[in-house]
Structure 1
Amino acid sequence: MTDSHNTLTRRCNKAPLTQRLRTGFKALGIGLLLGTIPIVTTATSEEIRLPELGDSTSGVVSRQREKELGQMWLRMFRSQVKTSSDALLQQYVEKTVKGLAEYSPLEDKSIDVVVVSNETMNAFAVPGGIMGVHTGLFLFAENEDQFASVIAHELGHLSQRHYARSLEAQRNSTIPTLAGMLGALVLAATAGGEAGIAAMTATQAAALDSQLRFSRKNEQEADRVGIETLAKSGRNPDAAGEMFEQMLKATRYYRRPPEFLLTHPVTEKRIADAKLRSQRMEDVPPSDSRDYHLMRARIRLAGEPTPQQAVKRFNAELNGINDNEDAARYGLALAQIAAGKPDMALDTLQPLLDKEPSKAAFVLARADIDLVRENYSSATRRLQHALDRNPGDHALTMGLANAHFKASNYLAAERLLAKYSRIRKKDPSVWYLLAETHGLAGDIVGVHEARAEYYILNGIFDKALQHLRHGIRMTKNEYQTNAILEQRLKDVIKMQEKAREL
């Protein structure tokens, strides 16, 4: 079930990527030429001089309009890229972003987080409170504070209103700029970074020089705010300089630098400035979050060609050199589960369970062992007990729903997800699993309603309207349900109209 909703979205977008992007931009009322501008495919260690993607809330448009733009951007982005459906990973990133946002100067601290399944090192912020993180960032950042330094930097762009300043310098260019960001980030997350930079450059060519000059000041401000945010949140501010050093090394040893560097110039002077700023902060004892390494293990497992190869890799780490022994053990257990070896997985996982029997990551892994053994009642009991102790936990909720689904307890899964969908309204994975569950529970109207919400969140309005109309036809004699679906139909039509007006 983990990647099924991404597959469904992609089935609705079978056209070539450039064609899909042009179609999407027409919905925004603009056109975009892709791949028409030559691009630089190598970088020097002195400075990578390319346009800025990190940005902020806009002062040229109203905050409400900005939110609408951001949500529309997010829907279109989701429709074109493979996003992670790993609930534990999503929860970790959301918690990290929220924790940092609380200590940032952002006025509106509510952030929508999208995790992109892509091994490139990248993170981005988009006007309207959107934060994107590539899974590759976990592989590049050696510890949680380094990871957090990148997030804090992007929050710095948002809080300092760099996007608003960009619009002031490029009057009336709101939509082309957002569309350029969409094109660049979609291509960076699918076809690769070089194509993404071509798309961005094509869109912003007219204002390229001013953006480059502006970018240096933006980066300095985002560095300052990001480092201050790190320190205020109790994290090590030295991590920012450490991360910059790793980025600079990447420009020296790789043909292409990480995606993040293509839009965030790094120089020796910038590294020195970051170190100087951090030295002025109060000393924070170095820490190395185990949770971060557990998430890295999950991502590394997903990146291995086969579960068997993952078993070999984690086994070698557990018995040799590793960043975190618990994470190596956890990764090995997950790999053994994926390889269909539940008994070996339990032997591997047991020491972790003995130390922390109630930790969500370990409980979920133990439940997965039950599921592989087809001991469904044990899995659901275990997860229900954990959820009772941690009500509202996203990963445990989705884990329990999935266990009920696999156990053919469709009514139990349906009740759980129907309630949860009212809390987590903007999560496509919740609506996707709810639609599947409704279908197997025999609630066909519920299928259409949940499918419609799923397609709305992915910016596929035609499909959403199709499902809503089916639901309306089936509920002619059910006044309340029919009225709700009729109203939702009107809402989606308005969304389409706004998309064309943007």
Structure 2
Amino acid sequence: MLATLLVSAAQAQDANLPELSDASSAGATLEKEHELGRLWLKAFRSRTQEYPDPETQQYVEQLIYRLLVHSELKDRRLEIAVVDNPTMNAFAVPGGVVGVHNGLFNFAESEHQLASVLAHELAHLSQRHFARGLQERKKNSVTAMAGLLAGLVLAATSKGDAGIAALTASQALSQDQQLRYSRQNEQEADRIGIETLHKAGLDPNGAPRMFERMQHASRFSGQRVPEFLRTHPLTEKRISDTQLRANDYDPKEYEDNLDYHLIRARILLHFEGNASRAAKRFRSQLKGTDGTPPQAAQYGLVLALIAGEKLTEARQELNKLQKQGSNQLYKLAELDLLLAQGNNEEVIRLARKQLLLYPNNHALKIKLATAYTKAKKFQLANQQLTQLSRQRPTDPQVWYQLAEVRGLAGDIVGLHRARAEYFILVGAFNMARDQLNHAAKLSRHDFQQSAIINEKLIQLAALEKQIEKL
């Protein structure tokens, strides 16, 4: 396992490794952090499950980049992972890796509250709290990153139950030492995070309100403290301090972004796991029992009906929703309904039309590729996803879908190459090498293809050596 490699290699006395706490050159240190963070992400992905929902991924990315523009973070090359886990957690790893559990949407009541958590994590990155902590404790960066991996993998794979007991004593010690921020770090991240919220046009009061939500959740969690609070200790004084900081800004009315509640409905359906039960829940929400915006409850009902294959009723409910206003997520839901009905040509027509208006919409591009595939237009699907892989070269889900499409299109060498890219991104290096070797055998008479594949094998070997050093 990569985590084992991280821990054992960290003990090697002759390892020539990047040090996060090396202050000899700020630029070089940031570059080393970037490199180490990308390696860490591959190790993390090899042991956890991401949430493969392009609508949610797109929403989270857009919100984080909105905050990033107004943050103090100098190196703005981010990798954003949405972890499929119902617990309340978010994290930032040196080198620009930001992780969000989709379960966080279950706790945040508004975009302002969710954004407060993300702004706080960006503040930890911008102030380099992790690296500064290592310097103060004179800790090796690799040992620390191993502890960070162990702790966050545990948080991302447990469901808030007895899974915590499976952690070894050494990993638990690493988690406690490496993940817990100091009170001073937390105060600084609170201050900078609230300022970032304000500059981004979001409500600074989102921070104290989210803290109150977290505190409320912790009171009903028994012995299992929510993961975010294990690593970011919360006190009454801290809540009071953040409220005072938020009060420093002139009071105003902030609109609550409907998109947040629509994405929250998608995640609710996902965690419900049963379309019929989810539909009942959304119908209950439409009665106004829990404060959910009616459009979000209606949207969730549409998705639940599509998932339950009640397509005629889904069309009726979607028509009601679209009469209430226009939203890009409504249009994507319509494409989902048409795909479920097998009306692939209409999806292609509508998706192409929408892409003229929203050329950077990731979820829309995925829908178009799916429609091409279902319509057996495999070459067009291949072209669409190949272009998307160039735009999002570090997105594992794009490479996964591209591999499937290339196989259907008869591009077997391309299939193996796409699979290799996917396996590299999720840290399965042996499987990536197997795919590249298959591609090399099939293209031995194609000089250009062979050269590209051989170069990729060389890069993979170098990457494995870097991982071994970790």
TM > 0.5 fold call = yes
* Counterpart residue number, 2:15: none
Q: Deviations over 1:118-166 (max 9, x none)?
A: 1100000000000000011111000000000000111111111111211
Amino acid at match of 1:479: F
Distance, in Å, in 2 between the alignment partners of 1:205 and 1:350 is 55
* Counterpart residue number, 2:16: none
* Counterpart residue number, 1:280: 248
Distance, in Å, in 1 between the alignment partners of 2:455 and 2:252 is 53
The CA deviation at 1:253 is 2.6
* Counterpart residue number, 1:25: 6
Amino acid at match of 2:203: N
Answer whether contact 1:404 1:412 (CA < 8 A) is retained.
Answer: yes
Answer whether contact 2:7 2:143 (CA < 8 A) is retained.
Answer: no
Gaps of 5+ in 1: 1-19, 32-56
Match of 2:310 among 319, 341, 345: 341
Amino acid at match of 1:340: E
* Counterpart residue number, 1:233: 200
Amino acid at match of 2:283: N
Relative to 1, partners in 2 of residues 1:278 and 1:401: Cα closer, same or farther, differing over 3 Å?
A: same
1:62-77 maps to which residues of 2 (within 5 A)? 62-77=29-44
What TM-score, normalized to structure 2? 0.92
Relative to 1, partners in 2 of residues 1:59 and 1:265: Cα closer, same or farther, differing over 3 Å?
A: same
1:350 aligns with 2:319: yes
Distance, in Å, in 2 between the alignment partners of 1:360 and 1:115 is 21
Relative to 1, partners in 2 of residues 1:435 and 1:279: Cα closer, same or farther, differing over 3 Å?
A: same
* Counterpart residue number, 1:79: 46
Q: Deviations over 1:204-248 (max 9, x none)?
A: 748968986x61111111101111111111111011111111112
Relative to 1, partners in 2 of residues 1:206 and 1:402: Cα closer, same or farther, differing over 3 Å?
A: closer
Amino acid at match of 2:213: Q
Q: Deviations over 1:87-120 (max 9, x none)?
A: 0100000011111011111111221100001110
Relative to 1, partners in 2 of residues 1:242 and 1:362: Cα closer, same or farther, differing over 3 Å?
A: same
* Counterpart residue number, 1:6: none
Answer whether contact 1:360 1:386 (CA < 8 A) is retained.
Answer: no
* Counterpart residue number, 1:298: 266
Answer whether contact 1:183 1:200 (CA < 8 A) is retained.
Answer: no
* Counterpart residue number, 1:10: none
Amino acid at match of 2:52: S
Bigger mean CA deviation after superposition, 451-460 or 64-73:
64-73
Aligned residues with identical type, % of pairs? 43
Moved over 6 A (4+): 206-212
2:228 alignment partner, SS class: helix
Match of 1:268 among 230, 236, 248: 236
The CA deviation at 1:201 is 7.0
Amino acid at match of 2:268: R
The CA deviation at 1:23 is 3.7
Distance, in Å, in 1 between the alignment partners of 2:76 and 2:174 is 33
Amino acid at match of 1:331: G
Distance, in Å, in 1 between the alignment partners of 2:110 and 2:247 is 20
* Counterpart residue number, 1:15: none
What TM-score, normalized to structure 1? 0.86
* Counterpart residue number, 2:104: 137
Distance, in Å, in 2 between the alignment partners of 1:182 and 1:209 is 12
* Counterpart residue number, 2:148: 181
Q: Deviations over 1:273-293 (max 9, x none)?
A: 101111112324232110000
1:80 alignment partner, SS class: coil
Amino acid at match of 1:234: G
Amino acid at match of 1:99: R
Distance, in Å, in 2 between the alignment partners of 1:226 and 1:299 is 25
The CA deviation at 1:29 is 4.5
Answer whether contact 1:27 1:499 (CA < 8 A) is retained.
Answer: no
1:447 aligns with 2:415: yes
The CA deviation at 1:342 is 1.0
Distance, in Å, in 1 between the alignment partners of 2:332 and 2:351 is 7
Amino acid at match of 1:492: L
1:124 alignment partner, SS class: strand
Amino acid at match of 1:25: L
Answer whether contact 1:184 1:200 (CA < 8 A) is retained.
Answer: no
Match of 1:163 among 130, 143, 150: 130
Gaps of 5+ in 2: 13-19
Distance, in Å, in 1 between the alignment partners of 2:396 and 2:174 is 37
* Counterpart residue number, 1:405: 373
1:4-403 maps to which residues of 2 (within 5 A)? 20=1, 22-25=3-6, 28-29=9-10, 59-60=22-23, 62-192=29-159, 199=167, 202-203=170-171, 205=173, 215-255=182-222, 256-321=224-289, 322-357=291-326, 359-403=327-371
CA RMSD between the two structures: 2.2
The CA deviation at 1:452 is 0.6
Relative to 1, partners in 2 of residues 1:24 and 1:84: Cα closer, same or farther, differing over 3 Å?
A: farther
Amino acid at match of 1:377: E
